[in-house]
């Protein structure tokens, strides 16, 4: 299995914070999934635009400016498993599934 880690810091001025949530901004889960897909393309060296989210768990909120580490690894069935960490806590995990042949 291949794998890699990718670092990303959430920009404090990211437009996703504009309504998510006033007074206590948190990163929307869809933004974490989008980043996981972008990093999957880097890992594979190929587009993943037709891939699906196999599953996703959001375990801890992520705030503006937090530094994240995305760990991705290929699975025996050709998918990708991912986890996202912020410092010492896991914030999300899941899997990405390639399109059926």
Q: So what's the pLDDT on residue 16? A: 87
Q: So what's the pLDDT on residue 1? A: 64
Q: Average pLDDT of the chain?
A: 94
Q: So what's the pLDDT on residue 20? A: 81
Is the pLDDT confidence value at 85 over 80? yes
pLDDT tens, 29-77?
A: 999 999 999 999 999 999 998 999 999 999 999 999 999 999 999 999 9
DSSP for 4-70 reads: EEEEEEPPTT-GGGGGS-TTS----HHHHHHHHHHHHHHHHTS--TT-EEEEEEE-S---TT-EEEE
pTM: 0.93
C-alpha span between 42 and 87 (Å, rounded): 23
Question: Which residue among the candidates 8, 14, 20, 37 is catalytic per the annotation?
Answer: 20
14 among known catalytic residues: no
Q: Where residue 21 falls among pLDDT bands split at 50, 70, 90?
A: confident
C-alpha span between 14 and 25 (Å, rounded): 10
């Amino acid at each position: 299995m291949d794998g890699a880690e990718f670092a990303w810091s959430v920009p404090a001025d990211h437009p996703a914070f504009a309504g998510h949530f006033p007074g206590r901004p948190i990163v929307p889960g869809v933004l974490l999934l989008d980043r996981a897909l972008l990093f999957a393309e880097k890992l594979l060296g190929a587009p993943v635009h037709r891939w699906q989210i196999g599953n996703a768990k959001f375990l801890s909120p992520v705030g503006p400016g937090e530094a994240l580490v995305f760990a991705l690894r290929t699975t025996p069935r050709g998918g990708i498993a991912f986890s996202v960490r912020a410092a010492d806590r896991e914030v999300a995990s899941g899997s990405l599934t390639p399109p059926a042949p």
